[in-house]
Amino acid sequence: GLLENAAVILAGRKRRLTADGHELTFGTNHLGHFALTALVHPTLAKKPGSRIVTMGSGSTRLVTLRADDLQSEKRYSSFSSYALSKHATQAFGFELDRRLRAAGSPVTALIAHPGGAQDGLTPFRAGVNEPSVAQRFLAGLSFVAGGSKEAAAWPLVRAAIDPDAVGGQYWGRTTPIFGRPVLNTPVASSHSAQFGEGLWSLSENWTGIPFPL
């Protein structure tokens, strides 16, 4: 299977671009995953039971989708660009599910969101996560902003391996930030077939990679 969780969260005050000329957060969080999915899908399709899980975010409930400004050319802030990229990843996941079903593909597409997570509450892993004593202390004081990244991974893992999970499901947590992995309901725009189709076409154009599904 394919778990799509690479992300830029806060890219900075100034709008930055990828090497291909796309807004950094959108290019990394959505376009990179779209391109990767298009390239590996033929291989996954040969393996019945394969799953593709895209990672959404609760930030989509805080920032309204701007379908005409996905790359934040008209208006930019690091958080809004992150939320827009996650609007795209969620819509891509649902559009992928619709297309896989229509094609009779053995591949299943699901979507997940992690709730809240903090480095300071995440177990130490050399070279991966090495929070200082101060970071752990501050994370403990601000626990309302989320728990560990380990716990935040549960919805993604459940979507990937739960034998009862099916395509088109949206896995999150029992509250917007905390809790065990359970089925959630995304913002309405994520389910929009019109937006999903348009996003697919734009993504093919922006990446230069056709995804005929």
Could you confirm whether 76 is annotated as catalytic?
A: no
pLDDT at res. 125: 62
* Of 6 and 44, more confident: 44
- 3-state DSSP of 121-189: HCCCECCCECCCHHHHHHHHHCHHHCEEHHHHCHHHHHHHHCCCCCCCCEEEECCCCCCCEEECCCCHH
Residue 93 in any domain: the answer is yes
d(CA 2, CA 96): 13
What is the residue range of 42's domain?
A: 2-114+153-207
Total count of domains within the chain: 1
Q: What is the pLDDT of residue 140?
A: 56
Q: What is the pLDDT of residues 148-205, one digit of tens each?
A: 677 788 999 999 999 999 999 999 999 888 889 999 999 999 999 999 999 999 999 9
- Which pLDDT tens digit goes with each residue over 35-88? 999 999 999 999 999 999 999 999 999 999 999 999 999 999 999 999 999 999
Please pick, among 82, 154, 170, 171, the residue that the annotation labels catalytic: 82
What are the backbone angles phi and psi of residue 129, rounded to the nearest 5°? -140, 110
Q: Is residue 126 part of a domain?
A: no
Residue 35 maps to a domain: yes
* Tokens standing for residue 152: 């935040």
Answer yes or no: is 28 within a domain. yes
pTM score:
0.87
Using one digit for the tens of pLDDT, what is the confidence trace for 102-153? 999 999 999 999 987 655 444 566 754 555 666 655 555 555 545 667 778 8
Task: Give me the CATH number covering residue 46.
Answer: 3.40.50.720
* pLDDT of res. 121: 47
